[in-house]
Structure 1
Amino acid sequence: MLGIDTTYLAILHWLIVISLSIRVIMQRHAVGVSLAWLTVILLLPFFGAGIYLLVGENRLGKRRAERASRLQKPYHEWLKSLDAQYQLNFPLLNPACEALHRQAIATIGMPALAGNQLQLLDKTEDTFRLMIADIDQAKESCHLVFYICQTGGMVDNILQALIQAVQRGVRCRLLVDAVGSYDFIDSFWAKKLQTAGVEIEVALPVNVIRSLFVRLDLRNHRKILVIDNEIAYTGSMNLADPRFFKKDEEIGRWIDAMVRVTGAAAKALNAIFAGDWEMETDISLKTSIAEPLPDTSHQQGSIVQVIPSGPGLAPAIIHGMLLTTIYTARKELIITTPYFVPDEAMQTALCTAAHRGVMVTILVPSHGDSLLVRLASRAHFDELMAAGVKIAGYYGGLLHSKTISVDGEFSLIGSVNMDMRSFWLNFEITLFVYDENFTQQVKTMQTNYLKYAYFFDPNAWKKRPLLHRFIENATQLLSPLL
């Protein structure tokens, strides 16, 4: 009897393996992702199949996918009007800037916008103080979307400023991710805000029933604050005070960077918020972004391209633009990222850049908050350092800034990590800044980070214990899924 039961289980296992293998192949994932999933399905009977059905495909859900498709049209029309309005003087910039601009227009319709004033902020306390000051001056609206909202410290001051703004007649809307802000959603502060009149919505809700139809680890990872459709903040900082956030994990304070933006790019960021808000509530905020923009193409300021990415949008937009960024570097490429798990295309691009003489530096935390990510990340170091890439470990805290500077001439800053989750699964936001002065500020910030970092020695790295190498290489097999 036991033998018969075992036979039936084996037959069922192979039927599941064959059917899901066909499904994986027909989904046309990246080769590494497909092979990783086939391995999981094959080696973990039944359990592997369950994991794939839960998180193996970018399932937004039928209703959400239909709504996303419906919502994109009016925003794309608005963006096209911006593209026709702005005539940018790209010949004065690095040739890569115009190439990236055209790539973004072709894939997502988001044009670069001129005449923006940018302020780089690399100290969290100063960032919070400026946010509070701007909220205190708000006259019409305050729009916030954050992956994590955790009360305590200066975050409480931000939330209190929103309450005071509502009392002045300002419309305040706060969108938080269901997973990242799980503790906040039913907290005392959330109830206090709602009682005062602050509108709070939860992005991508999670529950057992939804898990049958929707992939639960698709998250809204953006960090955006927009005041009066005129002033905006974005970058890597969550709505969490680093003095209190994950303080028991012994990884040090989180180190972040944000940008304060005024100009047309602030309105583009507000449009991204409006789309996210309408996706969750079915309430349109188009009237808050419909006002015509002044012609600032002749004004002094930075040219900025706001690039949203995530499931339901152009799925390969940020991955493709990052590859273009790396391939167009001529002299120097500096990358800071808390999570570095590149795919084969990204690894090849970085090695190729180093081979052609570009000084490539990648700065990661010495000790991150994810053991699996750290192990998978380090499996890539051998090939990168052999190609001439310099890799540094930051020991001054958990470096959470996500920045890239290219040739000291243009830069990227936002919420995107250098891993598959950010490229394909999360809703992210990135600013491509085609401005040498601002980029020099980013590069100075990156150089200051390097003062609190050590460089991995290629020769010493090769001599690390065999067991360490085996564990790292084994974990790398899961890197497309991390």
Structure 2
Amino acid sequence: MFGISSGQIFLCFHIAAVTVCAIRVLYRQRNTGTAFAWLMVLFVFPLFGVAAYLLVGEARLGMARAKRVEQMNAFYRQFAERHFQNEDLDTDNKMRRRYQGIANVAASVTGLAASNNNAMQLLTQTDEILEAMLADIQSARQTCALAFYIIEPQGRIQTLLAAVRDAAQRGVECTILADAVGSSAFFGSEWEDNLKAAGVRIVPALPVGVLKTFFSRSDLRN
């Protein structure tokens, strides 16, 4: 009987772990360059590559958040089935070609396909984006919902926040959704307190604790 050495056990374990991770890389990583880089790390660095991939290789929402995402997508699908009739959809592809890619992504993720009798404008300059947002906030009568990755309460952003505060004071239902990490300078500031005092609902998106910051990738939050 030949005994199995600890080195052989380690080698078998390493091969099995690398194989499993390699399959996940090929299945989960859509970018070819990223997938190739991770495969190189996995095969060149024993155990370290496996540990590194398990820690930062994939974006994870967690079971609770993943369940909420599925519930949200199910709500969108049910809403589309109930309120979007076939005659309202852009079945004749009247939309300009430059917008069709965005519309297809939205339809595949949320089930909300592009519909007729709507207008769309892509804004690329910061000033025109802010001006358009200010105009919409100032003309809002019922609801005003804003989502941000980064809120830095300075410069023209303060003008925008003041417009939201004024809208809430005149009876508009206002809600701000902001990333808990990207907008950390906003949370806990005087602006957050002032907006809440005016009746604005402020919701931090994807809050993380101290320990989770070491095991999550902040570059994937947006």
Matched pairs, number: 214
The structure where helix makes up a greater share of residues is 2
Determine the structure 2 residue equivalent to 1:69: 70
Distance 2:154 2:102 in 1: 40
Alignment check: 8 A CA contact 2:22 2:42 kept: no
Gaps of 5+ in 2: none
1:124 equivalent to 2:117? Answer no
Q: Indicate how the Cα distance of structure 1 residues 154 and 54 shifts in structure 2: closer, same or farther if over 3 A, else same.
A: same
Pair 1:60 & 2:61 matched: yes
Number of the residue aligned with 2:186: 184
The equivalent residue for 2:204 is 202
Give the counterpart of 2:141 among 139, 142, 145: 139
Residue type of the partner of 2:162? Answer: Q
Cα gap change, 1:89 to 1:40, in 2 (>3 Å)? closer
Residues 37 and 162 of structure 1, relative CA distance in 2, 3 Å threshold? same
User: Given the alignment of the two structures, is residue 49 of structure 1 paired with residue 47 of structure 2, yes or no?
Assistant: no
Aligned match for 2:112, one of 106, 110, 113:
110
- Which of residues 136, 153, 156 in structure 2 aligns to 1:154? 156
Which residue of 14, 20, 42 corresponds with 1:22? 20
CA distance in 2, matches of 1:138, 1:150: 23
User: Is residue 153–residue 185 contact of structure 2 (8 Å, CA) maintained in 1?
Assistant: no
Measured in 2, the distance between the counterparts of 1:13 and 1:191 equals 57
Q: What secondary structure sits across from 1:132 in the alignment?
A: helix
> What's the secondary structure of 1:112's corresponding residue?
coil
- The structure showing larger relative contact order (alpha-carbon pairs under 8 Å, at least 6 residues apart) is 1
The within-5 A match list for 1:229-248 is none
Distance 2:189 2:121 in 1: 33
Distance 2:186 2:201 in 1: 14
Give the residue type in structure 2 aligned to 1:51: A
Instruction: Name the CA distance, whole Å, in 2 between partners of 1:211 and 1:13.
Output: 32
Counterpart of 1:37?
38
**Separation in 2 of the partners of 1:83 and 1:96?**
25
CA contact 2:59–2:217 (8 Å) conserved in 1: no
1:194 Cα deviation from its structure 2 partner = 2.5
Counterpart secondary structure, 2:174: strand
Separation of aligned partners in 2, 1:140 and 1:47: 54
Task: Give the 3 Å change call, closer, same or farther, for CA 145–8 of structure 1 in structure 2.
Answer: farther
Shift in alpha-carbon separation, 1:106–1:140, aligned structure 2, 3 A: closer
Structure 2-normalised TM-score?
0.74
CA distance in 1 between counterparts of 2:209 and 2:7 reads: 30
- SS at structure 1 position matched to 2:115: strand
Structure 1 pair 94/139, CA: closer, same or farther in 2 (3 Å)? Answer: closer
* Cα displacement string for residues 108-150 of structure 1 (whole angstroms, at most 9, x for unaligned residues): 5221111123445444334323322331222222111111111
Q: Distance in 2 between matches of 1:94 and 1:124?
A: 24
Listed one character per residue, the Cα deviations across residues 388-424 of structure 1 (whole Å, up to 9, x for unaligned) are: xxxxxxxxxxxxxxxxxxxxxxxxxxxxxxxxxxxxx
Note if contact 2:152-2:183 (Cα within 8 Å) is conserved in structure 1: yes
Q: Per the alignment, do residues 91 and 166 of structure 1 end up closer, same or farther by CA in structure 2, a change over 3 Å counting?
A: closer
| Structure 2 residue identity aligned to 1:129 | E
Q: Percent identity?
A: 32
Distance 1:144 1:210 in 2: 26
TM-score (norm 1): 0.38
Letter in 2 for 1:117: A
The code of the aligned residue for 1:63 comes to A
**Cα displacement string for residues 298-334 of structure 1 (whole angstroms, at most 9, x for unaligned residues):** xxxxxxxxxxxxxxxxxxxxxxxxxxxxxxxxxxxxx
Alignment of 1:370-449 (within 5 A): none
| Cα distance change on mapping 1:93 and 1:218 into 2, 3 Å | closer
Which shows bigger deviation, 25-34 or 199-208? Answer: 25-34
Which residue identity lines up with residue 21 of structure 2 in the other structure? R
- 1:175 deviates by 1.0
Partner Cα distance (1:115, 1:162) in 2 = 28
Look at both structures and tell me which one has the larger radius of gyration over its CA atoms: 2
* Paired residue type of 2:23: I
RMSD: 3.8
Alignment check: 8 A CA contact 2:76 2:110 kept: no
Gaps of 5+ in 1: 1-6, 222-482
Structure richer in strand, relative to its length: 1
**Is the partner of 2:202 in helix, strand or coil?**
strand
Taking the aligned partners of 2:105 and 2:163, their CA distance within structure 1 comes to 40
Q: Structure 1 95/131 Cα, relative in aligned 2: closer, same or farther at 3 Å?
A: closer
Given that 2:196 and 2:202 are in contact with CA atoms closer than 8 Å, whether structure 1 keeps it comes out as yes
Question: Which residue identity is paired with 2:196?
Answer: Q
Q: Secondary structure at the match of 1:90?
A: coil
Q: How many angstroms apart in 1 are the aligned matches of 2:176 and 2:20?
A: 42
The one-letter amino acid of 1:140's match is Q
Taking a change above 3 Å as real, the CA distance of residues 86 and 205 of structure 1, as seen in their structure-2 partners, is: same
